A = this chain, B = another copy of it.
Amino acid sequence: MFKFVTAALAALLALPIALAAHAEEGMWTYDDFPSTQVEQTLGVRVDRAWLDHIQAASVRLTTGCSAAVVSPDGLALSNHHCVMPCAHDLSGPGTDYVRDGFLTDARAEERKCPGMQAEVLMGITDVTAQVFAASAGKFGEDYVVAREAAMSGAERALCGGDPRLRCQVISFFRGGQFKVYKYHKYSDVRLVFAPEFAASFFGGDPDNFNFPRFAFDCAFLRLYEDGKPARTQDFLTWGSGPPQDGEAVFVSGNPGASERQFTVAQLESLRDVNLPIAALQRSELRGRLIQFAEQSPENRRISTDQLFGQENAFKVFYGRQLALVDPDFMAARRKDEAELKAKLAADPKLAAQIGDPWGEIEKLQKAYAEQYVVWRQLEGAAGGGSELYRYARTLVRGALERPKPTTQRLPEFADSRLPLVEKTLFDQAAVEPGLETLYLEFWLSKTREYLGADSPATVMVLGKESPEGLARRLVAGSKLADPAVRRALWAGGLPAIAASTDPMIQFVLRTDPVSRAARQLWEEEVAGPIDRASERIARVRFAFYGPNIYPDATFSLRLSYGKVAGWTYKGEQIAPFTTFAGLYDRATGAEPFRLSPRWEAARGKLDPAVVFNFATTNDILGGNSGSPVVDARGQIIGDAFDGNIHSIAGDFVYDGALNRTVALTTDAITEALTKVYGRGALVKELTGR
């Protein structure tokens, strides 16, 4: 969700790709932060107390973003694009908080975001040894069950049954390390302030992943506990004054997933199998959504956040694809891999223990290529984004899984994970029949297209119906949009599910065996064996590169260090700052460069010199959206919301000369809250003035 940002897509074709690690590369864990290296690089020292403070004010949003606590009363700053689904859920025909913004005047007006949970990291415990011990010598299903048992055991041991806590085992270094992250959780998160879409996403898809940028992509949430604003002792002091060119800055947040430790064979499968299929499908879905939105104002209202998400993802994955077709990039990865293998070969004892995991992974890519699209259509992307389908699957699988011992269940239904499953299932969220039909029809038609009209799986899914007819029938007949209906089916368990006449429940009951079969095959023949080989590569890495390497991103809290900086590309220098004056210069009056009425009215009132957006060298990724940009004193000075176009392949590579994080200044937020939105109370809570 680190909503990335547009240079021309064409420019991507000729993008230079970083070939060597850079001093400011890294998404570091808080328990292994390279403070010495930071001091050498940036000349500033951060100590344990500083780290603890930033950690305690850093928030993970389970909906895929990050945030920062910025007041003692649970106020949290995130990005607008992170709360857009919430603003949509709170809207309805005639009320459009996405288009118009959501502005509260008093705490009583703050409204709960469906399905959103905030989590603050309290501590980290290494459980690698016990996970390895439990699964040692086991294979296939046995291996999976044993590992699950060890992990859920560790989670239980550290969190007990405390409903305010969440413990989660997170795997690092692609299975090389396992740690329990213990979180203070807030399952009641309310929307406080969201600007209008025209301001938060000024420049739209064309400016997304571009810089200079002029986006007011911020939003405020409040964490609640027991129905009251949470007392949050650790919060970040609200910064004022412009960021300085060259100033040391830190970004604390939750990068989602990276593949910097993938083998070459895995990168090739991403390039040739996974990304092209996903991109082609996403592109068609994008076209359907655009045309859907143009049908009526109401269609536009219900699809704005969906289209944003699809277009953002399209650009991200397209950028990744272009990195993977760059021969220099792949050659560099081949070289890295050959070096690591050579080191291993020179150590016969370790080599004997490790074997040839690279070769194993390479061989597994044949199964990957054969099974990826089957797994994707029937399991990974099943339902195509339909909420009703998602509810039905949770209900059907929940009913089938919950009676089993926790370690024998599908992992997402383990005891430690049920609270969030239930919250997501029971919260009232918007379900839009028009969109539901679109998504289901799209998924059904792509399943038939990619698996074949006569494949047993397609016949099982479609029967003699058409994708269009089946989608309409399921959406028209389902009652699962009603949380009370979902709650009753969850409580009733398998008997209630079996007796349900809801067509979506019946559809999922009928098709679940095909979905599970695809998943099982994938896990047993592709994902599982790759995981086990990757673990061994991680061991090789530790052996030769020591502990001073950072793990691939796993949507867990990381800290990145860097500095405020522009960059030079093809001889052109790009300054690290934009101002309010630049926004008014860029506005054309036509979408997506049209100012909202509020910002139009504020023309002349805002200080034109205030720094609006800025660029830093921090190494961040999707999931970092809403992360605080913190200065050396620990003050928040920015709200990270994007990267520049050169950061778009950040999943694979970081290039300090070009990759940039893009953030909104706290100064601009203060100025706009005051002069555009008149939110005096909010400004007072932030600044004390």
Of the listed residues A290, A373, A374, A468, the one surrounded by the most CB atoms of chain B closer than 10 A to its CB is A290
Q: Which of A149-157, A584-592, A670-678 is the interface stretch?
A: A584-592
Which of these, B205, B280, B291, B369, contacts A318 with CB under 8 Å? Answer: B280
Would you call A273 an interface residue if the criterion is a C-beta within 8 Å of the partner chain's C-beta atoms?
Answer: yes
Known contacts A276-B276, A469-B590, A591-B466; A450 and B287 CB within 8 A of each other? no
CB distance from A447 to the nearest CB of B (A): 10
Query: Which one, B8, B286, B450, contacts A9 given CB within 8 A?
Result: B450
- Name the one of B271, B283, B464 contacting A590, with C-beta atoms under 8 angstroms: B464
Cβ–Cβ < 8 Å partners of A591 in chain B: 466, 468-469
**Residue A203 at the chain B interface, CB threshold 8 Å:** yes
Q: How far is the CB of A485 from chain B (nearest CB, A)?
A: 28
Please determine whether B286 and A449 come into contact, CB atoms closer than 8 angstroms: no
A188: min CB distance to chain B, Å: 38
Indicate whether A455 reaches chain B with its CB closer than 8 angstroms. yes
> Which residues, 235 to 291 on A, are CB-close (under 8 Å) to B?
271-273, 276, 279-281, 283-291
Residue from B288, B373, B592 in contact with A287 in the complex, judged by beta carbons closer than 8 Å: B288
Known: A292-B291, A438-B291. A206 touches B449 (CB 8 A): yes
Count identical subunits in the complex: 2
User: Which of A10-18, A192-200, A219-227 touches B?
Assistant: A10-18
Flag whether A355 is at the interface (Cβ < 8 A). Answer: no
Is A325 at the interface (CB under 8 A from chain B)? Answer: yes
- Chain A interface extent, by class: 35 or more
Question: Which of B14, B289, B291, B373 lies in contact with A10, CB distance below 8 A?
Answer: B373
List CB contacts (< 8 Å) of A159-184 with chain B.
none
| Chain B hits for A14, CB < 8 A | 369-370
Excluding A13-B369, A284-B286, A288-B291, 15 further A-B contacts by CB distance (< 8 Å) are A6-B453, A8-B450, A9-B450, A10-B450, A10-B452, A276-B279, A283-B287, A284-B284, A286-B287, A287-B288, A287-B289, A289-B291, A291-B295, A466-B591, A466-B592
Q: Which residues of A pack against B, CB within 8 Å?
A: 6-11, 13-14, 203, 205-207, 210, 271-273, 276, 279-281, 283-292, 294-295, 318, 321, 325, 369-370, 372-374, 438, 442, 448-453, 455, 464-466, 468-469, 588-592
Can you give 19 contacting A-B residue pairs, CB < 8 Å? A6-B449, A6-B452, A7-B452, A8-B449, A8-B452, A8-B455, A10-B373, A10-B450, A13-B273, A14-B369, A206-B448, A271-B325, A280-B280, A281-B283, A287-B290, A290-B291, A291-B292, A464-B590, A465-B590
